[in-house]
């Protein structure tokens, strides 16, 4: 953060706020199936599930994508290639829909800050992975990559906790306790992504990937993933 007036921080807080219209509330990242299967049923099982998702799954994957999009923000060709790679690496139809739904919505809403920055990228790629959209705009607006990654991973954790609070159901106090317990994990994921290359994209969080596939055929669904 280099601006003495704190503008970059204000922007990051706005973009990653639950009130920012990305539609994140509509996605559970497979948690809805995990709750139905009783794999997530209380605070401890939710924390264990999310630690795996953050460390070995989408948390790590998205952190790497964001950092590379941040570095390539001034190179449209490289940025488009990163976006396409982010799309190709999604493990299921619903997970692709989750990242592109939020990424495309983010690009539309962020036009209030910088019209056109993400429009050309969206036209070149067709759909935008959420972390690529956030990383590209963060770089354009002078937001430090470390801060953007921490914010993105924290937002993923908070959104999934919110989904679990409604699905299990859990009390708000339990959800907040899980979020507090994940602080070290979130910081570790952000730190580990600093030196990760694009060839390290992907994950080993197979149960969460299978959950997103199983969710497609769940009889009753509140969420889109």
Check residue 180 and report its DSSP letter.
H
What's the structural domain count of the chain?
1
Measured torsion, CA atoms of residues 23, 15, 195, 140, in degrees rounded to the nearest 10: 120
Asked if residue 31 is part of any domain, the answer here is no
* 90: region left, alpha or beta (phi > 0 left; psi from -120 to 50 alpha): beta
pLDDT, average across residues 177-193: 98
Cβ(10)–Cβ(208) below 8 Å: no
Is residue 18 domain-resident?
no
**Where in the sequence is the domain holding 91, given as residue range(s)?**
43-215
pLDDT category at 7 given cuts 50, 70, 90 is very high
16 within a domain of the structure (yes/no) = no
| 51 found inside a domain | yes
What pLDDT, in 10s, does the model give residues 87-127? 999 999 999 999 999 999 999 899 888 767 687 787 888 89
Backbone angles phi, psi at 80, to 5 degrees: -65, -40
**List of residues 6+ apart from 183 with CB closer than 8 A:** none
Residue bearing tokens 């992975």: 129
For residue 163, the domain's CATH number is 1.10.4190.10
Q: 172 in a domain, yes or no?
A: yes
Return d(Cα 119, Cα 130) in angstroms, integer.
14
């Amino acid at each position: 953060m280099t601006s003495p007036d704190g503008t970059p921080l204000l922007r990051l807080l706005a973009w990653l706020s639950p009130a920012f219209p990305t539609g994140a509330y509509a996605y559970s990242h497979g948690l809805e199936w995990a709750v139905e299967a009783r794999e997530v049923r209380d605070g401890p099982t939710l924390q264990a599930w999310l630690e795996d998702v953050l460390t070995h799954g989408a948390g790590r994957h998205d952190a790497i994508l964001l950092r590379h999009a941040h570095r390539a923000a001034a190179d449209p060709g490289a940025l488009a290639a990163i976006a396409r790679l982010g799309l190709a690496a999604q493990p299921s139809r619903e997970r692709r829909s989750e990242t592109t739904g939020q990424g495309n919505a983010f690009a539309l809403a962020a036009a209030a800050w910088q019209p056109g920055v993400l429009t050309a990228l969206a036209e070149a790629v067709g759909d935008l992975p959420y972390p690529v959209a956030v990383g590209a705009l963060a770089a354009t607006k002078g937001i430090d990559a470390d801060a953007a990654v921490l914010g993105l991973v924290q937002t993923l954790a908070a959104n999934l906790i919110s989904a679990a609070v409604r699905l299990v159901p859990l009390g708000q106090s339990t959800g907040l306790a899980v979020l507090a317990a994940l602080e070290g994990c979130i910081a570790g994921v952000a730190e580990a992504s600093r030196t990760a290359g694009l060839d390290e994209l992907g994950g080993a969080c197979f149960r969460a990937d299978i959950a997103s596939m199983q969710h497609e055929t769940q009889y009753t669904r509140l969420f889109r993933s």
